[in-house]
């Protein structure tokens, strides 16, 4: 029984030290949610208040966000994705990518994935994050 409780605690937690991708999660979310639109501000607040569950595989990971249903920072029942952040590994641009899923106005999941350029997920400290344009600056909307 104690083991089951401990395993559940390790699966559901705030962004704590025992998360495999804690630092990377913070950096990716900062880039994905960069901006001052009302939607992005609300999503940043959701991220700060979220509880996360991390699932890892050889080629990536999923981080599921859990929020209260009555969260005051919901984004008006919208469903969309943000996916303009990539990672260069050993000089190979876009070796890994990230997609943030928002469903019914709430953060749902962040997926980190390999793009077939590399065979398995690298150590996080080998990943250099950029936007899809290859720079640290997000392209302005036209």
pTM of the shown model: 0.84
Nearest CA-CA partner of 119 in 96, 142, 86: 96
Q: pLDDT (tens digit, 9 = 90+) per residue, 27-76?
A: 999 999 999 999 999 999 999 999 999 999 999 999 999 998 777 898 98
Q: What is the residue whose two structure tokens read 């104690």?
A: 2
Closest CA to 50 of 10, 12, 11: 12
pLDDT of residue 133: 87
Residue ranges of the alpha helices (H) in the chain? 2-11, 22-32, 38-49
Average pLDDT of span 120-124: 95
What average pLDDT does the chain have?
A: 86
Report domain extents, the chain.
2-131
The number of helix segments (H) and strand segments (E) in the chain equals 3, 6
């Amino acid at each position: 029984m104690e083991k089951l409780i401990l395993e559940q605690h390790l699966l559901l937690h705030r962004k704590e030290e025992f998360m495999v991708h804690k630092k990377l999660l913070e950096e990716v979310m900062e880039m994905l949610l960069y901006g001052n639109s009302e939607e992005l501000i609300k999503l940043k607040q959701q991220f700060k208040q979220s509880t996360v569950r991390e699932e890892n595989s050889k080629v990536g990971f999923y981080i599921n966000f859990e929020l209260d249903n009555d969260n005051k920072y919901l984004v008006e029942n919208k469903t969309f994705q943000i996916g303009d952040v990539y990672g260069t590994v050993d000089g190979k641009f876009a070796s890994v990518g990230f997609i943030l899923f928002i469903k019914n106005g709430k953060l749902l999941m962040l997926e980190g994935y390999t793009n077939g350029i590399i065979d398995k997920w690298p150590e996080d400290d080998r990943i250099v994050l950029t936007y899809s344009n290859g720079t640290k600056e997000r392209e302005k909307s036209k």
